[in-house]
Structure 1
Amino acid sequence: MTTCVLLTSLLLVNVVIADEDAEGCRDHPLLTRMPNFYIQDCEMRDFDQMDFVNKQGEETTVEGKKYYISHYVNSDAQPPSEIQILRNFTNAIQKIGGTKTYEDRSDVYLKLEKGDIITWIHVHTWNDGAGYDLNIVEEARMAQDIVADANSMAQDIKMTGKVAIYGIYFDFNKADVKPESEPSLKEIAKLLKQNPKLNLYVVGHTDNVGSMSANIDLSQRRAQAVIQVLTTKHGVDKKRLEAYGVGPLCPAAPNKTDEGRAQNRRVELVEQ
């Protein structure tokens, strides 16, 4: 009996008890964690904003689904160096086509573009590598609950001869109108029904990412796609609409920031 108790005690001494992740916390689907680390805290928000640092060393505000995951080294493990943590995450993102936008002693900022999703990652190390935090934002538009209605569109056209529509959506580098554009398209059709003498130029605009010729072509195809939906689905007479694409030639904001480029990607209705 004494022997059994002694053996049990020795076995307990040699068991390695891993530190447990905080309740409800898990790794982000894109990234695994450093070996011998556990998650001590986490938070996820469906839509939030955060400042990241771009290649020019300037802060840029990004909006979308936000993750915060804080890691700490297991109590029985030797922590890696801070540079080892930063290099591991940088190499992982670069291997799948991402880029490093900025780095200093304890931080690295990474960016990954896949399809119509842009993922921003900030890795921050602390306590000489014993801990590190991940701040991740999957950039996306917020679900738009409020859409400019036909009356406000008519008012803008009366005052300025045009109205910018930001509720018409396309996938990256494509000209297919996305289903979530329907509320705005309904209001445009209503605008034309309420104003039977109003004829419009539908003008596509882009940011300055890519070549001039590609952006001109893309903006033209997007304008034509909007007219296609309005005429085939909403019964608008195609004689009242004419498509033009001007690419990046008429910006609404500087193209130097992500926010500015987002403002420049739009469709405008211009009175003929």
Structure 2
Amino acid sequence: MGRFVAFIASLTVLVAITMQAQAQRPAALPPTGDVPGSSDHPLIPRYKGSEIRRHSVDAFDSYTLATGRILKRDKAPVSQVAEKSVALEGKVTNLIYRAPVDRSSLEVFRNYEEALKNAGFETLFTCSRSECGPGFNRAMNPDVHNSLLYDANQHYRAAKLARPQGDVYVALYVTTDEPSKRAYTKLTVVAVKPMEQRMVVVRADEMEQAIARDGRIAIYGILFDFDKADIKPESKPQIDQLGELLKKNPKLEVLIVGHTDGQGAFDYNLTLSQRRAQAIVTALVATGIAANRLTPAGAGMVAPVASNRTDEGRARNRRVEIVERVSGGR
């Protein structure tokens, strides 16, 4: 009887472990048909008979559009390895289609070319096969998990549709999965639009109170172009308020700390945040603040205040913190 009870207990543990492993395993794609919840982009129809194998939409995100050859085979961002590129921000839609059997990547690509032309898109750059440059396939598809395998039959087109309500950019990449001989299309559509301005300018007296209470304050009114350290003109009201705070408190010394979200390479974000912090210091010095009162520091992605898995979280993590620097011993 004791052995039987022990056997049942062991069996129960084994079943529990198996169920837990199955629960942790990512859901498999359906063998045929569109993935659940997916749909075509309203501006660009699919190639007839194709199936959506991947689909995602980000309400506001960044994307670097390759508009030139890839110069080297590297894991670096497109902006660093492409001959030319365009930094975009807006609504980003990603789709991966699997074409019907016995359809070549060139045939699928030509059909999409015609569809883009009919929709009014202008071509910014196009290439095929080796003329796209070494490592072009890696640049177009850095994520192994999305099942796009590459061969020599790659074709690419970057295009733009100018609209009064906001321009639309397209990255069209078509190739062939070598084992299955099926053509796959990766379609990225970026509808450029301004980010919703939810972050208000923090006034000098509010910053003064927060620093006195907490020793620091996060501000979101200093904006930068994507992947750059150039302060946008609309940041002037927040820069002015920060300058007013420092003029009102002539003995106050601060760290200007730049923070990025969790996207991109660690070292690159660290350097970018340092450059942005330095740009703020330069702007404040231009208003008459002594440089020795300001210390620029880049924190990169190391101190998030929200999850980097969502647009909202990444927006909160992209910030500047003003930290009081107190002189004295340790």
State the TM-score, normalized to the length of structure 2: 0.45
SS for the counterpart of 2:276 is helix
Counterpart check, 1:167 vs 2:121: no
Letter in 2 for 1:253: A
The 2-side partners of 1:145 and 1:253 are apart by 15
Runs (4+) of structure 1 exceeding 6 A deviation are 109-112
The 2-side partners of 1:231 and 1:91 are apart by 54
Tell me: CA distance 1:91–1:262, structure 2 relative to 1, closer, same or farther (3 Å): farther
Instruction: Choose which of 57, 68, 86 in structure 1 pairs with 2:40.
Output: 86
Counterpart for residue 205 of structure 1: 259
Q: Deviations over 1:169-214 (max 9, x none)?
A: 0011100111000000000000001111110000000011001000
Aligned residues: 168
Residue pair 2:61, 2:89 contacting (<8 A) in 1 also: no
The 2-side partners of 1:180 and 1:215 are apart by 23
Counterpart check, 1:156 vs 2:156: no
What is the Cα-based RMSD across aligned positions, in Å?
3.5
Instruction: Choose which of 202, 210, 215 in structure 1 pairs with 2:269.
Output: 215
Residue pair 2:200, 2:220 contacting (<8 A) in 1 also: no
Tell me: CA distance 1:145–1:219, structure 2 relative to 1, closer, same or farther (3 Å): closer
Letter in 1 for 2:270: I
The 2-side partners of 1:205 and 1:170 are apart by 12
Residue pair 1:202, 1:241 contacting (<8 A) in 2 also: yes
| 1:79-158 paired onto structure 2 within 5 Å | 86=40, 89=44, 101-102=55-56, 113=63, 115-120=87-92, 138-143=192-197, 146-158=200-212
Counterpart for residue 250 of structure 2: 196
Tell me: CA distance 1:269–1:91, structure 2 relative to 1, closer, same or farther (3 Å): farther
Residue pair 1:100, 1:111 contacting (<8 A) in 2 also: no
Tell me: CA distance 1:162–1:119, structure 2 relative to 1, closer, same or farther (3 Å): same
Residue pair 1:175, 1:225 contacting (<8 A) in 2 also: yes
Counterpart check, 1:236 vs 2:236: no
The 1-side partners of 2:301 and 2:204 are apart by 26
Counterpart for residue 271 of structure 1: 324
Tell me: CA distance 1:194–1:249, structure 2 relative to 1, closer, same or farther (3 Å): same
Which segments of 5 or more consecutive residues in structure 1 lack a partner in the other structure?
Answer: 1-55, 58-81, 93-98, 104-108, 124-135
Q: Deviations over 1:105-141 (max 9, x none)?
A: xxxx998835242224599xxxxxxxxxxxx964532
Letter in 1 for 2:309: K
Aligned sequence identity (%): 39
Residue pair 2:200, 2:221 contacting (<8 A) in 1 also: no
Higher strand share: 1
Instruction: Choose which of 247, 251, 256 in structure 1 pairs with 2:304.
Output: 251
Which segments of 5 or more consecutive residues in structure 2 lack a partner in the other structure?
Answer: 1-25, 28-33, 48-52, 65-86, 96-189, 326-330
SS for the counterpart of 1:227 is helix
